[in-house]
Each structure stands twice: as structure tokens, then as C-alpha cells.
A = this chain, B = another copy of it.
Amino acid sequence: MFGKSTYTKRRKTLKEKVGKGLILLLGNNESAMNYADNTYHFRQNSTFLYYFGINHPGLAALIDIDNDTETIFGDDYTIDDIVWMGPQPTIAERAEKCGVSRVKPLTELQDALGKAGTTGQMLHFLPLYRPENKIKLLELAGVSPKEIGERFSLELVKAVVSQREIKTAEELVRINQAVDVSVDMHMEAMKFARPGMSEAEVAAEIHKVALAAGGNISFPIIATINGQTLHNHYHGNTIKEGDLFLVDAGYENEMCYAGDLSSTFPVSKKFTSEQKEIYGITLAAHQAAVDALGFLKPFREAHLAACSAIFDGMKSMGFTKGNTADAVEAGAHALFFPCGTGHMMGLDVHDMEDLGEVWVGYDGQPKSTQFGLKSLRLAKPLQAGHVFTIEPGIYFIPELIDLWSGQGKFKDFIHWDKVKTYRNFGGIRNEEDFVMTENGAQLLGKPKPKTMPEVEALRG
């Protein structure tokens, strides 16, 4: 974790921003796989980590702004536990490291909340994504799971987002490290994958690199010959000569900072000429997005630059036609690129997605409802310290091609006959991570092979 003063300052700022009341921050519990004691790897709540840095299950924290107290609630291990688990720091020792001196057993949390209720203090809590925390809130404060969406504190959400979205120098060190290991994961995949392997074998090799570095994967690995399927965690196919292989994978380090990268490479040693053409367009779109990044410039512009570059590139190959600006405004490019160019990244790979994309990516402004643009997670002007991904891609999605061509959609912008000849082409995406500074965007982590010669060199 960071030094004590980091957490003390973060909480001081939070208290100033929220102004008054009682802030309840729930840490995560262990998550059961198939019975209570057989658990997935522990993942702490990111906001709890941000303000307290304690990567340990079963904790809750109460920040009483009105009375200026901070308390961590949690139960120490018994001697029986220690015989089974080895020596463990106490909750008080853990709390001391983040500058919190008040520690109480979990059973006292309900009393503390009850007392606050009788004095009419306002209780601030965040939207909850973990069911165990929904149960805690029900039992502690009588808020049912269905009511959380209406009763969470928007003031608290806005305050947390405004702090967590600006990454400090010490955070950037950790994010750079996470991206570096993410690069290692991708380079290993490019060197390792061979025709005849299963996708699972390649995914396992990528996963191994993350675990061996002492952390974990920051999200479920995509490692597939069906890159056109955007949410694809199936690893059952055998990979063969001529296939494209798409990897989307990232590392989460011991402090839970994430990296998030994508690569696409040929299963054969070389790209085919058709693959080269489409790959080239994705690279041009990638560069167009990067070129459109600017300090205080809306990220939406980078997204639209990528959309236009994809539409233009596809026009040069005879897939599309007509005026590019009109096509992008109408959403025709989304046939090939139905998702967004990037998202915030930090302690979460989609940073603070639990707090609401409209606050993290849109400053509270409404999102577009148009297919394609509605999937853009980040649109607002970029401040110094914003960390985000750039990941335009081109996908031939058979189901979407069939749906839209059957509906007679976008006849003025799409050459459907040509598109159908590429129905089984697959998908291509590259993805990199950046931080905005007052002098423009900077790449995070060491460079990952991206040009076709660089990628082919690793396939040799």
C-alpha cells in the first residue's frame, strides 16, 4: 500500500467534498465458488482500497464527517484461526497503516448506524454490486437490495469519482507496472500460440504470466479465433493456420491497479493479404484516435475520429460508400465497430463502473442511445491524470450482418454484397493504455508490438 499520509489526505478531501453526514464504505467479503469455504481469489472493493488501502476481507468503514471520526469495523482472528492460517496482523495494525486509529468489532457497526439514525445524521453509501454487501446494508440500515439504486448517495458518488479519476504520480507508477506485465502477457501469447493448440492452452499461458508476477488477471481473458464476438470467454476451439487470434487481457497487480491491452495476430507465421488490409485500417483508426486526444478535449472526439477512419478505410476496400461524416452520424460504421474507442482505467479495468458510467465518462450528461455510440463508456473532456484505453477495432459479426442486411439498413452507406464475402473474416483489435497530461496524452507501460512486421517477427 501507499504511505499513511496518502490515505489520510484522500479521506480529508472526501470529507470536504461531501460536507456533512456519515459515509459508510463496505469492503468486500470472500466470494464462494461452490460452498462457503471454497472461494474465488479475494478482490477488495476498489473504493475501500482507495481510501484505506487494506486488502483484506470482511471490513467496513464509517467516516463521520460531523464528528470528525473515522472507524474501521472488523473482527480479528482467533488463536484457532492462526494455527490454521499462520501469524496474521490485527485489524488495528492494518488500520494504523492507513492512519485510522479507531477499530471496532463488526457487531458494533449496527449500533453506530443506529445512533446516527436517532440524531438524524444523513447516511451516505455507494451503489453496491456485491450481493453480500446488499445483505449487509439490508441488515444494517434496512435498505432492501431493490432500493439501493434509488437511495445511494449521488453526492458521495460524485465526490469519489472526482478523486479517483485523477491519478497521482504514485498511482501512475503502479499503473505503468501493471501495463508492463500486461505487455508481457501479450508477447507471451504471440510467441506461444501454434496451430493445433486449443484456445484454452493459449489463455492458460497468458494467465500464468499474470499469476507468476504475483498478481492476477484484471478481467476474464479473451483469447479467441472468433474476435468478432466481443464478449467471448469460450476457449474450446482448436486454432489453425490462417486464423486470426485476438487476445484481450490485462494484469492486476498486488495493489489492484489494472492494465488492459488487446492484440491480434495470425496463427500462421504471416498475415494473409486480406488480413493485412483490415489490420492496416485498424492501425489507422488507432492512430486517428490517438491524434485526436488532447488536454481538456472531449474523448468523444477521439472515438469519432476512429469511427471515421474505419469508415474511410472500409470505403477504400469497397465495403462502404457515401459521405463519411453522414455515415458516422447515422451510425453505419457501427456495423464494423459497434463498441467504444476506450474507457477509464485505474483500480478497476473499467474504472469505477460500479459508480455509474454516466458520472465516470459523461460528467452526468446523458449517453447516446444510438447503436454503437451508446456503448462508448467515456466521452467527457480529458483532464490531466485521466487514464484510459484506446481500442478501436473492426469486426465482421455474422449475426449483425444478417440482421441489418435483412432489414435493408444503411443501403446508402454499406455495400452489403461485399460485406457478405467477408462474413467469416473474424475481428481485429489493438488496445493500448494512456494517461492525459497538460502536454497531451502519453502511452503507459512499455510499447507492445503493434505493427505487422513487429507482430510477425514474434510469430517466426
Residues of A near any B CB (own CB < 8 A)? 31-41, 43, 45-46, 79, 82-87, 129-132, 134-135, 139, 145-146, 198, 200-201, 203-205, 207-214, 219-220, 226, 229-232, 234-236, 256, 338, 347-350, 352-354, 397, 399-400, 403
Contact = CB atoms under 8 A, between A and B. Distances in A.
Contacts of A214: 198, 200, 235-236
B145 A135 contact: yes
B212 A39 contact: no
Number of copies: 2
Contact of A230 (B84, B213, B229, B231): B84
B34 A40 contact: no
B84 A229 contact: yes
A440 to B, nearest CB: 29
B85 A231 contact: yes
A43 B34 contact: yes
Contacts of A85: 229-232
Nearest to A339: B84
A43 to B, nearest CB: 4
Given A38-B348, A201-B212, A204-B209, 11 more contacts: A34-B129, A34-B348, A35-B129, A82-B399, A83-B399, A83-B400, A83-B403, A130-B131, A135-B145, A204-B208, A204-B212
16 contacts: A33-B219, A34-B43, A36-B354, A38-B220, A38-B348, A41-B220, A79-B403, A83-B230, A83-B397, A83-B400, A84-B231, A85-B231, A131-B131, A200-B211, A200-B214, A204-B210
Contacts of A348: 34-35, 38
A131 B129 contact: no
A43 B40 CA distance: 10
Given A131-B134, A211-B203, A354-B36, A232 B46 contact: no
Nearest to A226: B86
Q: Which of A35, A46, A130, A338 has its CB near the most chain B CB atoms (within 10 A)?
A: A35
Given A205-B208, A397-B83, A135 B129 contact: no
> Ordered nearest first, which 7 A-B pairs have the shortest CB separation?
A204-B211, A131-B131, A204-B212, A86-B229, A35-B354, A208-B208, A131-B132
Nearest to A258: B34
A136 to B, nearest CB: 9
Nearest to A203: B211
Contacts of A203: 211
Q: Which of A34, A41, A219, A352 has the most CB of B within 10 A?
A: A34
A58 to B, nearest CB: 13
Contacts of A349: 38
A80 to B, nearest CB: 8
Given A38-B353, A135-B135, A205 B212 contact: yes
Contacts of A338: 83
A219 B38 contact: yes
A32 B130 contact: yes
A155 B130 CA distance: 31
A210 to B, nearest CB: 8
Given A200-B211, A207-B211, A354-B35, A399 B79 contact: yes
A370 to B, nearest CB: 13
B232 A213 contact: no
Contacts of A226: 86
A124 B354 CA distance: 35
